[in-house]
Amino acid sequence: MANSDGIILRAERIRHTYRSDGIETPVLHGVDLAVRRAEFVTIMGPSGCGKTTLLNVLGLMMRPTGGAVEIDGSRVDGLGDGEQTMLRRGKLGFVFQRFNLLPVLSAERNVALALELRGKSDRHDAERNRSAGQRVAEALDRVGLSDKRRHKPGALSVGEQQRVAIARAIVGRPRLLLADEPTGNLDSRNAAIVLDLLADLNRSDGLTVVMITHNEHLADRADRVLTMIDGRFEQQ
């Protein structure tokens, strides 16, 4: 549940510097961000400005060099690896530009895997009594791929693969969906389908979405558009 001010995700003064072979490359320079529950936020900006790094920090995939991250009102950046894994498993959903489906599994097994990994963290889910199979079927139905549930990713079009990735991201009913250029590898028709889907999930299900995109037309569908330049938001 979001905290009392309705903020589900808060990032304060996030800084991050990559270090490699003694060379330091600062990427984020004190980014502040607050996302309300059920908000659809897009982040735009040129390549290399730090969008994906910020998303990885927000998604607990990367520890920032400095700053604080709160999810549902709880500070999470200092948690241990295990606790962050549990949070990622229970509250976050990811959609990537490259889909990141497991090629050895069918569409429904890819989706089911997310549920399987949720495991015990799913214990308090209100729908815990429903079978995993039902939930997988519903998620695939939601993205319009019920008829292709047994197909492996290699047998699906790129648009379909991304829809499977979205089904995988939403099957566990996350509070926050983080999408890193989900339409970047899609043609305009499929991009529109995916964006419609994300917008519908946001409107109908109240899913909070933070999406990175280069496409200004797609960004217009969001409640709020943030532009990042050189490691900080423009309006900062």
Partner 1 sequence: MFSLAVAHLAHRKLRTALSILAVSIGIMMLVVMLALSHGMLNEVADRIQSVDAELIVLPENENVIFTAGAAFSGKYAPVIDAFEYGGRRVVKQTIGVMLDTLHMGGQQQRLFGVDRADMSAFLGRREVVRGRLFDEGRAFGDRLDGLRNENGYYDPALVGEAELLAACELVIDERLARVGDYEVGDEVIFLGRPFEIVGVVESGVAGRVFCPIQVLQYVKNGGVPWVSLFFVKLHPPPLAGGDQDRLRVGPSEASAGGGASQVSYEEAIADALSERIKAKVELKGAYRDLMYESFSQVYVYINVASGMALIVCFIIILLSMYTMVLERTREIGILKSLGAGRAYLIGLSVVEATLVCVCGTTLGLGLAIGAKLGLEAAKPLLTVSIEPAFVLIALGIGIIGGVLSALYPGYRAARLDPVAALSME
Q: Which residues bind partner 1 (CB under 8 A)?
A: 56, 59, 61-62, 81-82, 85-86, 88-90, 92, 94, 96, 100-105, 109, 113-114, 116-118, 121, 168
Q: Tabulate helix, strand, coil % of the chain (nearest 5).
A: 35, 25, 35
* Rounded least distance, CB 179 to partner 1, Å: 12
* Rounded least distance, CB 93 to partner 1, Å: 9
Report the residue number, 91 or 148, with the smaller CB distance to partner 1: 91
* Rounded least distance, CB 178 to partner 1, Å: 10
Query: Is 213:183 a contact under the CB 8 Å cutoff?
Result: yes
* Rounded least distance, CB 88 to partner 1, Å: 5
Report the residue number, 116 or 220, with the smaller CB distance to partner 1: 116
User: What does each C-alpha distance from 27 to 8, 11, 18, 57 come to in angstroms?
Assistant: 24, 15, 7, 12
User: What does each C-alpha distance from 75 to 54, 57, 125, 203 come to in angstroms?
Assistant: 16, 13, 22, 27
Report the residue number, 114 or 222, with the smaller CB distance to partner 1: 114
Report the residue number, 114 or 228, with the smaller CB distance to partner 1: 114
Query: Using CA atoms in the order 198, 204, 205, 209, what is the torsion angle rounded to 10 degrees?
Result: 30
The angle formed by the CA atoms of residues 77, 80 and 83, to the nearest 5 degrees, is: 90
What three-state secondary structure class fits 85? helix
* Rounded least distance, CB 222 to partner 1, Å: 23
Amino acid symbol at 202: N
Report the residue number, 168 or 232, with the smaller CB distance to partner 1: 168
